[in-house]
Copies of this chain bind each other. A is one copy, B any other.
Amino acid sequence: MNDITAAILVIGDEILSGRTKDKNIGYIADCLTNVGVYLSEVRIVPDKEEKIIQALDSLRNEYKYVLTTGGIGPTHDDITADCVAKAFGVEISENKEAIDMLLERIPLEDLNESRRRMARIPHGATLIENSVSKAPGFNIGNVFVMAGVPSVMQAMLDVVITRMETGQKLLSCNIHTNIKEGDLAEILRDIQKETTSVIIGSYPYYNESGYGANVVCRGKNIDDIKSVATIIKEKLSNIGNVEIGEII
């Protein structure tokens, strides 16, 4: 449905061990959907050079864009920038412009070897400013390298979006029902067979007030969505309550 594809590569032992719960994937997913970029795959890998490079090469060859999070801080386990340089076969060294950015926040006397690591940037990369903590991310080829701390990642993502080709937003209409998924599945399957421009999904819910399923219609054409939503409402109204939400 969409030619502008992207993947996320989350880098960090702390996510895989469960110590840190990822908050970036869902945020980036919302953001990409809003600008018409189709998030097509996500991978989470540990802080291991071989794994990072392997995943990065696989994703950057398959999708239009790759956004990475994590591993660009000052400590010994922050190896993302070096891995990206290796994957692209370029040198990496201290970047003057990145040092200047760090100096906006860090006094010169505190700019020790570890902090200088955050200014090591692969050759040929363009910096991604970071309004929160100043240490920049960077992009090289079709890869955007961002921090893992959510507030910093979010500041970088605002910049990244301006550098991507964006598409037509995928519109979405939520149809709330109190119908069990097993009772609407056949009806939806038949409706889906008649349309390719609208993708119909169904998501069961269980909460204190009972259970049912939300039906979601997604597509680029608002009239097609309206038409499919109307058909769904017609067919389902015999078996339960059906409320068509706004198309957003």
The segment out of A155-163, A184-192, A221-229 that lies at the interface is: A184-192
A117 to B201, CA, bound (A): 16
Residues A211-240 near B (CB distance < 8 A) = 216, 218
A172-186 near B? 1/0 per residue, CB < 8 Å: 100000000111111
Tell whether, in the assembled complex, residue A181 and residue B39 are in contact, meaning their CB atoms are under 8 Å apart: no
Count residues of A near B (Cβ-Cβ below 8 Å): 63
A138-158 near B? 1/0 per residue, CB < 8 Å: 000000000001010000000
Q: Using CB atoms, name the residue of chain B closest to A115.
A: B182
* Chain B neighbourhood of A46, CB < 8 A: 40-41
Distance of A229 from chain B, by nearest CB (Å): 16
Q: Is A67 an interface residue (CB 8 A)?
A: no
Q: Which 3 A-B pairs give the minimum distances between C-beta atoms?
A: A114-B185, A18-B29, A18-B30
Distance of A104 from chain B, by nearest CB (Å): 14
Number of copies: 2
Q: Is A170 an interface residue (CB 8 A)?
A: yes
Distance of A81 from chain B, by nearest CB (Å): 14
Given A73-B204, A185-B76: A26 and B16 within 8 A (CB)? Answer: no
Tell whether, in the assembled complex, residue A202 and residue B75 are in contact, meaning their CB atoms are under 8 Å apart: yes
Q: Show the binding face of A for B, using Cβ within 8 Å.
A: 10, 13-22, 25-26, 29-33, 38-46, 51, 73-77, 106, 110, 112-115, 117-118, 149, 151, 170, 172, 181-186, 188-189, 192, 199-204, 206, 216, 218
Given A75-B189, A188-B75, A201-B77: A17 and B39 within 8 A (CB)? Answer: yes
Tell whether, in the assembled complex, residue A188 and residue B76 are in contact, meaning their CB atoms are under 8 Å apart: yes
Most buried by B among A51, A149, A182: A182
* Chain B neighbourhood of A30, CB < 8 A: 18
